[in-house]
Amino acid sequence: MPEPIGRIRRLSTTLANQIAAGEVVERPASVLKELLENSLDAGATEISIDVEQGGVRLIRVRDDGRGIHHDDLALALSRHATSKILTLDDLEQVMSLGFRGEALPSIASVSRLVLASRCRGDGGGWQVRAEGVAAEAGPEPLPHPPGTTVEVRDLFFNTPARRKFLRSEKTELGHLQEVVKRIALARFDVSLRLRNEHRGILSLRPAAEEADRGRRLAAICGAGFLEQSLAIHDAGMDLRLAGWIGAPDYSRSQADLQYFFLNGRVVRDKLIGHALRQAYQDLLYHGRHPAYVLYLEMAPALVDVNVHPTKHEVRFREARLVHDFIYRSVARALEAGGAGAQSAALRDAGTTPVPAFPTGGSQPRPGAGKVREAMAHYAALTGVPGGGPPARSGGDAEPPLGHALAQLHGAYLLSQNDAGLVLVDLPAARRQVVHQRLAAGFAGEGVRSQPLLVPVSLPVAADEAEAVESHRDLLTRLGFDLARNGPESVAVHRLPALLRDTDPGALVRAVLAAVAEPSGAADAVLWTMATHSRGDAAAVTLEQMDVLLRDLETQEGQAVRSQRPPWIQLTREELDGLFRR
Ligand code: ADP
Ligand code: MG
């Protein structure tokens, strides 16, 4: 029997809305997210949330935002009605959280919804209702404070199949709380209250002061995270990254404390995840997850957030640049705070690290490094004990190379030890330390490498291109992944992570030349690599200089290639002698 020919018919509005709801409204938490985003878009500073039975029976959000004009109330519940964009140009610049005009009608199509609102300056409030189908009657007046209340009852009452997919009340409540936490971390300036079955479970005051922000962070992520986190503040190439990352020795068994905000909205993006995993690579044991709360800001036109209806995935115009910026900022912060120095310093200084971004304002934060630096300088000048950088490992003994005091012309490091003054040749010291680390990796599992997001193609000499093939294993152990892609051309896929700041072209050519050398011993190649490490970016703060000094000390016993040590000791007697005292 032939199938009857299906005639084309227009979907009913309700069905169209329910189909859209399938995309937007997955569970109570997705309803709450849409409602909270609407409140924030309306400029709310105080939001209170009531939920019952994991949000299935009730989700009510009340805000003190600008409200909805009573003539627009019914319109707000109809599809593709939005006050947020008018033109495609607006879409490029859109900073508000929702803009599709789909949320309210979608939610209304699968619940019993009441929308009540009062515009500022209006005498009273108005409300409309919808039960599965679009609003029946026109708005009715009711008493209401300025702002908006959206009440969503009996979610999925008319779509039982959806309802079956919901988890236990407790699980759904967990999801609801997670939504509130994300908003709370995104907007430190907004007061938030969450009540479950009439009992308050979260109450967050606006956090304008730094101490309040720390308190909010601790309330959401736990005091342990706040204590063991490093603050990040980095800017460059029109990108700004701020926030907190777990110190290397703080990790979690689940990836449950990872918040990344892009221009104020939570994203879970593969590219960003990759950059962060890479920064933590080798620092965490297998199966452990880093913790972070990070805020990235960039021009809205450089990122497309309209990729997915729930807007967790984004598309960057300059993906590689963003990736490398995040990776580098986090890796650097981890390196600098590797011994827990930075978080300890922050506690010492009595400040709580707080990024400037969550409220949109920017304010300079007294840097922890600065405080410690000032204390160290003070101690060096006055001889008052206790002010200088504390010894890293237990024990009171002064480390042989002492503690850093300052840098001279970016080329020398001055350090005070028991004997007097140590003068360190910075580039040489840096080379030696990098060589030592590369050599350790080489002798072990191979030098730790880092993939380039986009491979680079390099013109090289024919014998160098051949070296890529004939010395493949050696190059892999040195941290390179290269592929010959022409008679005189090589594609670079991975580089040693330690040398990530160097010019890949110069580095690869030098290494290929050294490898192609008939007598090319591995150690000579390692020195070539170390020579290419860019020293000027490292050892900027006193803490980083101290790390360098400790690294030099551990190498002392290891008879480094009959090289002259990259430092000299000036004893107090020698110094006195200079002045014939
Ligand atoms: P969108 O947020 O994508 O514009 P919604 O369906 O979520 O679409 O909301 C439709 C419109 O209703 C919004 O554009 C806004 O004008 C209005 N609106 C919704 N919630 C609120 C609120 N809490 N306060 C003020 N206006 C609101
Ligand atoms: Mg919306």
Packing angle, helices 169-186 and 210-221, rounded to 10 = 160
Among the atoms of ligand 1, which is closest to the Cα of residue 37?
Answer: 2
Mutation test of ligand 1: which of 24, 30, 37, 41 has the most ligand atoms closer than 8 Å to its C-beta? 41
The more confident residue out of 543 and 342 is: 543
Mutation test of ligand 1: which of 82, 107, 119 has the most ligand atoms closer than 8 Å to its C-beta? 82
Centroid of ligand 1 to alpha carbon of 366 (angstroms): 39
Which ligand sits nearest to residue 94's alpha carbon?
1
pLDDT digits (tens, 9 = 90+) for 202-215: 999 998 887 888 88
Average of per-residue pLDDT across 123-152? 88
CATH topology for the 447-531 domain: Ribosomal Protein S8; Chain: A, domain 1 (3.30.1370)
Average of per-residue pLDDT across 57-86? 84
Amino acid symbol at 335: E
Packing angle, helices 542-556 and 368-382, rounded to 10 = 70
Q: What ranges in 110-237 are assigned the alpha helix state H?
A: 160-164, 169-186, 210-221, 223-227
Does residue 199 surpass a pLDDT of 50?
A: yes
CA atoms 391, 392, 398, 400: torsion sign = negative
Does residue 484 surpass a pLDDT of 80?
A: yes
Average of per-residue pLDDT across 117-135? 86
CATH code for the part of the protein at 13-203: 3.30.565.10
Percent over 90 (pLDDT), the chain = 33
**Whole-number mean pLDDT of the chain?**
80
At 565 the pLDDT is 81
Q: Whose CA is nearest to atom 14 of ligand 1?
A: 82
Beta strands 46-52 and 191-196, pairing class: parallel
Does residue 299 surpass a pLDDT of 60?
A: yes
Please state, as a whole number, how many other Cβ atoms lie within 10 Å of the Cβ of residue 101: 18
Average the pLDDT over each of 248-257, 393-402, 483-492 and give the range with the smallest value: 393-402
What 3-state class would DSSP assign to 367? coil
CATH topology for the 368-428+537-578 domain: formyl-coa transferase, domain 3 (3.30.1540)
Mutation test of ligand 1: which of 34, 38, 45 has the most ligand atoms closer than 8 Å to its C-beta? 38
Residues with CB under 6 A from ligand 1: 34, 38-39, 42, 63, 65-68, 76, 81-84, 98-104, 148
Does residue 144 surpass a pLDDT of 50?
A: yes
Average of per-residue pLDDT across 84-111? 65
Give the residue among 327, 281, 504, 539 at the shortest CA–CA distance from 432.
539
Give the residue among 505, 254, 118, 210 at the shortest CA–CA distance from 127.
118
Does residue 308 surpass a pLDDT of 80?
A: no
Specify whether the CB–CB gap between 271 and 323 falls below 8 A: yes
Q: Whose CA is nearest to atom 13 of ligand 1?
A: 82
Q: Whose CA is nearest to atom 21 of ligand 1?
A: 38
DSSP state of 42: T
Q: Whose CA is nearest to atom 18 of ligand 1?
A: 38
Centroid of ligand 2 to alpha carbon of 31 (angstroms): 10
Centroid of ligand 1 to alpha carbon of 56 (angstroms): 21
At 309 the pLDDT is 54
| Residue that has been written with the tokens 């892609």 in this structure | 485
Q: For residue 61, list its beta bridge partners.
A: 49, 150
Give the residue among 570, 545, 544, 542 at the shortest CA–CA distance from 377.
542
The more confident residue out of 14 and 542 is: 542
Mutation test of ligand 1: which of 104, 306, 310 has the most ligand atoms closer than 8 Å to its C-beta? 104
The more confident residue out of 12 and 336 is: 336
Among the atoms of ligand 1, which is closest to the Cα of residue 101?
Answer: 8
At 389 the pLDDT is 34
Which ligand sits nearest to residue 40's alpha carbon?
1
Q: Which CATH class is domain 210-348?
A: alpha beta
At 220 the pLDDT is 92
The more confident residue out of 230 and 345 is: 230
Centroid of ligand 2 to alpha carbon of 510 (angstroms): 56
| Residue that has been written with the tokens 């290397």 in this structure | 248
| Residue that has been written with the tokens 């110094």 in this structure | 575
At 112 the pLDDT is 95
Q: Whose CA is nearest to atom 20 of ligand 1?
A: 38
- Count CA atoms closer than 13 A to 401's CA, side-chain side: 24
At 50 the pLDDT is 98
Among the atoms of ligand 1, which is closest to the Cα of residue 106?
Answer: 6
Among the atoms of ligand 1, which is closest to the Cα of residue 97?
Answer: 2
Show Cβ contacts of residue 283 under 8 Å, excluding neighbours closer than 6 positions.
248, 334
Average of per-residue pLDDT across 476-493? 91
Does residue 24 surpass a pLDDT of 50?
A: yes
At 564 the pLDDT is 74
At 196 the pLDDT is 97
Percent helix, strand and coil across the chain, each to the nearest 5: 40, 25, 40
Average the pLDDT over each of 93-102, 128-137, 539-548 and give the range with the smallest value: 93-102
The more confident residue out of 194 and 546 is: 194
At 134 the pLDDT is 62
Centroid of ligand 1 to alpha carbon of 101 (angstroms): 7
Centroid of ligand 1 to alpha carbon of 18 (angstroms): 18
Centroid of ligand 2 to alpha carbon of 427 (angstroms): 55
At 461 the pLDDT is 86
At 322 the pLDDT is 92
pLDDT digits (tens, 9 = 90+) for 327-377: 999 999 988 875 433 333 333 333 333 444 444 333 523 233 333 343 343
DSSP state of 133: B
Average the pLDDT over each of 263-277, 298-312, 320-334, 408-422 and give the range with the smallest value: 298-312
Q: Whose CA is nearest to atom 12 of ligand 1?
A: 76
Specify whether the CB–CB gap between 251 and 284 falls below 8 A: yes
Centroid of ligand 2 to alpha carbon of 100 (angstroms): 7
Average the pLDDT over each of 65-79, 172-186, 532-546 and give the range with the smallest value: 532-546
Q: In the numeric block, which tokens belong to residue 539?
A: 């050892």
Out of 358-367, 522-531, 535-544, the most confident range is 522-531
Mutation test of ligand 1: which of 48, 70, 83 has the most ligand atoms closer than 8 Å to its C-beta? 83
Domains 368-428+537-578 and 447-531 alike in fold: no
Radius of gyration of the CA atoms of the chain, in A: 30
Among the atoms of ligand 1, which is closest to the Cα of residue 66?
Answer: 25
Where exactly are the structural domains of the chain? Answer: 13-203, 210-348, 368-428+537-578, 447-531
Output the pTM of the full model: 0.59
Centroid of ligand 2 to alpha carbon of 14 (angstroms): 18
Centroid of ligand 1 to alpha carbon of 38 (angstroms): 5
Amino acid symbol at 252: R
**Spatial separation of the C-alpha atoms in residues 206 and 263, rounded to whole Å:** 19
Average the pLDDT over each of 16-25, 172-181, 317-326, 420-429 and give the range with the smallest value: 16-25
**Spatial separation of the C-alpha atoms in residues 268 and 257, rounded to whole Å:** 12
At 260 the pLDDT is 95
Among the atoms of ligand 1, which is closest to the Cα of residue 102?
Answer: 6
Give the residue among 279, 565, 281 at the shortest CA–CA distance from 436.
565
Specify whether the CB–CB gap between 461 and 452 falls below 8 A: no
Does residue 540 surpass a pLDDT of 70?
A: no
Average the pLDDT over each of 2-11, 124-133, 440-449 and give the range with the smallest value: 2-11
Q: Whose CA is nearest to atom 1 of ligand 1?
A: 101
DSSP state of 209: S
The more confident residue out of 472 and 397 is: 472
Q: In the numeric block, which tokens belong to residue 240?
A: 């700004």
The more confident residue out of 208 and 325 is: 325
Average of per-residue pLDDT across 156-162? 85
At 95 the pLDDT is 46
| Residue that has been written with the tokens 């591995």 in this structure | 522
Show Cβ contacts of residue 252 under 8 Å, excluding neighbours closer than 6 positions.
246, 288, 289, 290, 291
Give the residue among 480, 437, 439, 438 at the shortest CA–CA distance from 460.
480
Out of 301-305, 361-365, 473-477, 495-499, the most confident range is 473-477
